[in-house]
Structure 1
Amino acid sequence: MRRLNLFAAASALFVSVSALVAQSPSFAPDGTFAGSSLSGWQQVGSAQWSASNGEITGTGTGLLIFNKPAQDSAVYLQFRCEGECNAGIVMRTTKGASGVSGDLLSIRPQELAGYHATFDESGKLAEHTQLRLAGGQIRFAPPPPAAGAPARRFTPPEPLPMPAGAMAPLQRPVHGLRNGEWNDLEVLLDADILRAFFNDGGDAVSVATENMNGYGPFALYVGGGTVHFRAIAYKDIAVKTQPKEQVSPNFHMQRINEFYYGWSAAAADFNHDGKLDIVSGPFIYFGPDFTQSREIYPAQIVNASTNYSMEDWVQHAADFTGDGWPDVVTTSHADGGKTGAVLYVNPKGESRRWEKLTVVAPIDSEETVLADVDKDGKPELVYMGGGYMCYAKPDPSNPTGKWVVHKVSEHGPWPAHGVGAGDVNGDGRIDVVGAYGWWEQPAQNDADTKWIYHPAPFGKWGRTSAGGAKIGVYDINGDGLPDVVTSMQAHGWGISWFEQKKSASGEITFIPHEVMGHLPSESAGGVVFTEPHASTIADVDGDGIPDFVVAKRYWSHLDDFYDPDPYGPPVLYVYRTVRDKKSPGGARFEPELVHNLSGGGSDVLAVDLKGDGNIDLVTSTRSGTYIFWGTRKQKKTGSQ
């Protein structure tokens, strides 16, 4: 993550990213302040400013302006107020006859807000106009509302309450100011939207500046009392960097489509020629070379900058109708979950589009998985819908009609991210796993029986809801007990595995082990990336032990700064499971970069397409659909 120090000409007191303390910004900074001198800063007003070992302290009233101007920029810092807080960050500062003007993020106990502000020569706030609400999943502020109409911005819904008597295993972060304590703050001004994120929570401030053409440096502001600032990092976010393309020597890349139609792929022999084919979005790509394709529903390219593919969020293939021909099911959380699961019926070799039938709705999870939950030899669809963890299956008496839905959980706050299925307790029955824990399948599983809920923190809240992508259940450390591995925030940071412990009485608990955190020092192989929105489990290296495959979704939502580091390289990694008694929990994960310019969508397909014994990976992303052909020559052992 090291970057060239672009502050060098402006201030020798900014050093490389490696000097960051405690927490870190979501962006890779151009530099971070680590000095004991204010050379390179300009003081305005009567405040007393000092610097020591990277910490800047301001007392009184005034501004401290950094001398590197920019138009679109991001600032990260930690701050602590002595007494009542009256502070701020001013972006795009300019000097004029009336003083210093800019866009102010105001930090006060009862107010976190944005203003266009002017400060007089004494550093006092002379004029300020509150900026209207804007933001959410957009880059440019919408036009001002009509006179008298309320200003609005996108606000994610509040989570549902926990079921009666159940304790929440995850706590939502406090988004606002922690008075008297150190606070993390990230401010981004891009185009005409100013966003501020406090303490790794949601966007506490998101406002329209009404001006895309402003230009100037950022400034620290104190309005009275004493305020301490540290870990100050800065980036010119108008500058984007594309790294040199890398493909692992263990894989060969084939790009079979260059456009955004969806976020998933599945494989089956759709035309009964004995070769596996791939379905991704509206197209079947015919094996073995995948150079021919045919649409199963009308294909239309999506503008990935401002829109989502509303149909293919996750795609599955199996013989759902029981006629011997593999069908396709796409699942989508679009339109408030109403899009649901759509069945496309294989026309048995006829060269035409496939019949389309909605079989399950609502589906509110962005991830869905197939698993033979009831051990009838046929896969069921596992998902969250309407506040319930569910699985659904075709009605044998009407295979193209509405599917039979089994609600395994009580009504609760189960998030849209993080779904899995596996035998957690080793009783031979498939359990359902989510970001808030797991649901134990009872010995007698009927439509009216709710499964036993076991809370567990298989996710983490951040700027948006907790949970990752597909959750894996397998014996990671070789002790005979199934463990869990998952990304922690699909729109944030983190990968962890959870070591199962079982008491003499049979009680199951989990010990978390971090695989990837915020910082390289916390992460396997020093690898850190955000938006781990696509994942799967497969024995990629052929050692008999499943591995964890995970990818970053570029932009995560849309082409804006709603999410952390949305423009970072879209990477695809295999985290190889290595059983190692010297590692915490008896195992570790070794990351292997497969590709650094594609990433993933909502899942990763892992399948042996050629039948050569190598696992191949298929991803569908904003830049197209990719096959990464496994080419390993030697298999490694997964134990040490």
Structure 2
Amino acid sequence: MNRKHLGVVLSFFSVVVAPCLGSGPSFHPDTSIATASRQDWSVLGKADWNIADQGITGKGNETGGLLVLNHSFQDSDFYMEFRCEQSCETGVLFRTKKQSDGSLAGDYVSFHDSNPTLFHVVIDPAGTIKEQTPLPKGSGLYRVAPAQRPERPRMPMQIVRPADLPITPPDSTLRAGEWNDVEIFVDANIIRSFLNNGRESGAVDEEGYGPVALYVGPKTSVTFRHVGLRDLNLKTREPEKVSSRFRKQRLSDFYYSWTEAAADFNRDGKLDIVSGPYIYYGPDYMTSSEFYMAQASNPTTEFASDGTLQFAADFTGDGWPDVLSVQYGGGPGAQLYVNPGKEHRRWDKYVVVKTNQSEIAVLRDVDGDGKPELVYAGEGTVRYAKPDPKNPTGPWQIHTISEKGYAAAHGIGVGDIDGDGRMDILNAYGWWQQPAKDAGTSLWKYHPVAFSQYTRGILGGSVMAVYDVNGDGHNDVVTSLDAHGYGLAWFEQKRDANGAISFVEHMIMNDSPAKSAGGVVFTELHGTGFADVDGDGIPDFIAGKRYFSHLDTNIDPDPRGAPVLYWYKTVRDPKAEGGAKFVPELMDNHVGAGSDILATDLNHDGAVDIVTSTRFGTFIYWGKGKQTSHAENR
């Protein structure tokens, strides 16, 4: 390979780069290409490499060529933006290795067709691809791909969505003549590529070690900008920070659950906590008992499927609170654990809901009978379920409120949107208005609203809050926008002269500090809740990052970002957009959140306490009452 001085330099430096899709990487690069005069790269082939106004331009001639970064990686994150002048024949090589004849071999992510294609290639010294072997497909919920099995015919997956949905997946195909962005993660034996905020394209190859290289094909002109890399073998953990507003108590060190609930399970007048297989008894929560067989999960390879969501109430009517465990994937939809009262034993279990397709559910009194119902998604519909009074441990009564196609895996809320005193139901696609009669036997009126945004093919948040944010007398909506991506917003309810309801989105946090309250940015707001944290009479919003949400993989943006837990103070301010703003305050940066967050006054001292259960364990944050926000905790 020849060294040439063209004013292009590979400079190594530590930077703080805000995770952002479309305008930068979702990780924090430690390597970047910048314009300066150092010779820290090499070229192979007959392509010309020059500085352009917006980055580095590679132009292939009769053959193509490579710009090779002279630093080797085994596992790496990679980001770039690129634009092809006409047709695209470009890509990135990883783990390159020089051959005896001067050729360069490596794993090649090709951008030539509408979607990324992955090959093992050999490129000769003239810049011609002389060998190109497709890599076996491999992606999904594992870090190391299992041994390949014989290919079996697959039926194409067809998802039919209603025409009136307010949001559709973005176009993630390759766009010649326009800027494209791509993130690529090379880890162990898997290569994952995400083009233009689309879904994963993955392949499997043997592990290797070597430089990264940019490629342009014959008679192709491509401009690259914002190229960044990170060495995945280097892991960083921030020093622990806990807000002085709260006292932190750890209940468990193990990954049993992503959820928690509270009730007086032993009827001693003190609230207890259920999380995973254990009841933790108040008031000190130092004593616990197992109500089903405890088995901790490995957060790198397993989901705590028995503890996806848990709710507590007296579902059988015997005066003793029971536990409803809702599962997502790998099991029945919901199982009822019946409290045996004074008997010290594990609890009897009954399947009461057979199917569930939502990772988020809530327990609220929907029909106004004074008893809570399970609100969730199943069989493509939005629905709620309640016990049969004559047989509470048998199949529950299911009430479907939507047509098929409106279910979403993420994002569920309940609240009175239209001010008629009846509970309405929300999800990522909008809200359903509860009718004045026949609410349990008829479909509800649908109002499309995009309470969500897409990241890598996923949309919808966690528990959606319904309350009057700006004090105008109308309930608004506060929600995370993508439980596996970016976004937190509040939606201001507006009414026209005829009383018709619409919503205006006000972004609280998106994919860069400039777009986010307090400059706070984090991904995977999979666990949320709301309560009046500071005692000013106005509900606040609580959100945390779910760390290892898809196990130890790189499927989600910034998967190893700090597992933070924040509360956002609702501040009514006539000068703010929409008449309100949200002020973030860090609670903890070592715990995060699971599927939801419990916010309640556990010890009846007038201060809200917060409970979260994650892959790091189960924790209480004891509230200390009304305080002034601390800037150092933001």
TM-score clears 0.5: yes
Distance 1:151 1:37, change over 3 A: farther
387 and 110 in structure 1: CA distance in 2 versus 1, 3 angstrom threshold:
closer
Q: Which residue in 1 is equivalent to 2:495?
A: 502
Q: Secondary structure at the match of 1:102?
A: strand
Corresponding residue for residue 190 of structure 1? 187
Task: State the partner residue of 2:614.
Answer: 621
Q: Does 1:106 align with 2:125?
A: no
Matches of 2:12 and 2:593 in 1, distance apart?
38
Q: Which residue of 1 aligns with 2:71?
A: 68
> Partner letter of residue 40 of structure 1?
D
Report 1:78-477 matches (<5 A).
78-98=81-101, 99-109=103-113, 112-146=116-150, 149-150=151-152, 159-162=159-162, 166-203=163-200, 205-209=201-205, 211-212=206-207, 214-224=208-218, 225-335=220-330, 338-477=331-470
Which amino acid in the other structure matches residue 232 of structure 1? V
DSSP 3-state at the match of 2:422: coil
Supply the RMSD in Å over aligned alpha carbons.
1.9
* Cα 1:20/1:493, change in 2 over 3 Å: closer
CA distance in 1, matches of 2:115, 2:276: 46
The DSSP-based 3-state class of the residue aligned with 1:585 is: helix
1:114 deviation in Å?
0.8
Measured after TM superposition, the shift of residue 328 of structure 1 is 0.8
Figure out how many residues of one structure are paired with residues of the other and give that number: 615
Query: Matches of 1:549 and 1:581 in 2, distance apart?
Result: 23
Instruction: Give the 3-state SS of the residue equivalent to 2:436 in structure 1.
Output: coil
Query: In 2, Cα distance between the equivalents of 1:535 and 1:472?
Result: 9
Separation of aligned partners in 2, 1:134 and 1:458:
32
Cα deviation, 1:437-486, whole Å, max 9, x if unaligned, reads 00000011343310000000011122142101001111111111111111
Determine the C-alpha separation between the residues in 2 that align with 1:541 and 1:571. 19
Following the alignment from structure 2 to structure 1, what is the Cα–Cα distance between the partners of residues 603 and 222? 63
Shift in alpha-carbon separation, 1:370–1:19, aligned structure 2, 3 A? closer
**Distance in 1 separating the partners of 2:17 and 2:192:** 25
Tell me if the contact between 2:45 and 2:66 (Cα under 8 Å) persists in the aligned partners. yes
- Measured against aligned partners, the alpha-carbon deviations of 1:16-59 in whole angstroms (never above 9, x if no partner) come to 34599961212111143342657422111111111246611000
Could you tell me which residue of structure 2 aligns to residue 568 of structure 1?
561
| Secondary structure in structure 1 of the residue aligned to 2:35 | coil
Mean CA deviation greater in 93-102 or 489-498: 93-102
Q: Counterpart of 2:214 in structure 1: which amino acid?
A: L
Paired with 2:537 and 2:290, the residues of 1 have a C-alpha distance of 37
Contact preservation (8 Å) 2:169, 2:457: no
TM-score, normalised on structure 1? Answer: 0.93
Give how far 1:158 is off: 5.0
Partners of 2:159 and 2:611 in 1: CA distance: 33
Partner of 1:7: none
Mapped partners of 1:264, 1:18: distance in 2: 32
CA-to-partner distance for each residue in 1:109-130, whole Å, 9 max, x for gaps?
3562111111111111121211
Give secondary structure in 2 for the equivalent of 1:521: helix
Residues in 2 aligned to 1:573 and 1:134: alpha-carbon distance in whole angstroms: 36
Partner-residue secondary structure (3-state), 1:390: strand
- Equivalent AA in structure 2 for residue 392 of structure 1: A
**Contact preservation (8 Å) 2:360, 2:462:** yes
Deviates more, 1:318-327 or 1:426-435: 318-327
Residues 454 and 68 (structure 1), Cα distance of their counterparts in 2 relative to 1, 3 Å cut: same
What one-letter code is carried by the residue in structure 1 that aligns with 2:148?
A: P
Return the TM-score normalized by structure 2. Answer: 0.94
Amino acid at match of 1:206: G
Q: Distance in 2 between matches of 1:445 and 1:601?
A: 36
CA–CA separation in structure 2 for the residues paired with 1:577 and 1:485:
10
Deviation at 1:11, TM superposition (A): 3.6
- In the aligned structure 2, how far is the partner of 1:319 from the partner of 1:306? 35
SS of alignment partner, residue 578 of structure 2: helix
Q: Give the match's secondary structure for 2:211.
A: coil
Separation (CA, whole Å) in 1 of partners of 2:259 and 2:291: 15
Cα deviation, residue 413, structure 1: 3.9
Aligned partner letter, 2:210: G
Residues 17 and 28 in structure 2, CA contact (< 8 A), matched pair in contact too:
no
CA change 1:20–1:230 in 2 (3 A) is: farther
CA-CA distance at 1:15 after TM superposition: 7.5
Q: Is the 8 A contact 1:38 1:51 kept in 2?
A: no
How far is the alpha carbon of 1:14 from its aligned partner? 6.3
Deviation of 1:584 (Å): 1.0
Aligned to 2:35: 35
Distance in 2 between the 1:437 and 1:110 partners?
A: 32
Pairwise CA distance, 1:554: 0.6
Task: Work out whether residues 19 and 27 of structure 2, in 8 Å CA contact, stay in contact via their aligned partners in 1.
Answer: no
In the TM superposition, what whole-angstrom CA distance separates every residue of 1:122-165 from its partner, at most 9, and x where no partner exists? 1111212110001111101111224xx3498xx99654321xxx
Tell me if 1:610 matches 2:607: no
Q: Is the 8 A contact 2:170 2:198 kept in 1?
A: yes
Q: Distance in 2 between matches of 1:278 and 1:186?
A: 41
Cα–Cα, structure 1 residues 14 and 239, in superposed 2: closer, same or farther, change >3 Å?
A: closer
Percent identity, aligned pairs only, is 50
Write the distance in 2 (CA, Å) between the matches of 1:37 and 1:430: 65
Unaligned runs of 5+ in 2: 1-8, 630-634
* Structure 1 residue matching 2:172: 3-state secondary structure: coil
CA deviation profile, 1:164-221 (whole Å, cap 9, x unmatched): xx51211112232122211111111001101110111111x20001x22x11121110
Q: Look up the equivalent residue of 1:442 and give its one-letter code.
A: P
Does the aligned pair in 2 maintain the 1:266–1:280 contact within 8 Å?
yes
Give the match for residue 16 of structure 1.
Answer: 15
Q: Give me the whole-angstrom Cα distance separating, in 1, the residues matched to 2:198 and 2:321.
A: 44
Change over 3 Å in CA distance of 1:121–1:498 after alignment to 2: same
Which residue identity does 1:314 align to in structure 2?
L
The amino acid that maps onto 1:418 is G
Whichever residue aligns with residue 248 of structure 1, its letter is S
Q: Distance in 2 between matches of 1:171 and 1:189?
A: 29
Q: Which runs of 5+ in 1 are unaligned?
A: 1-9
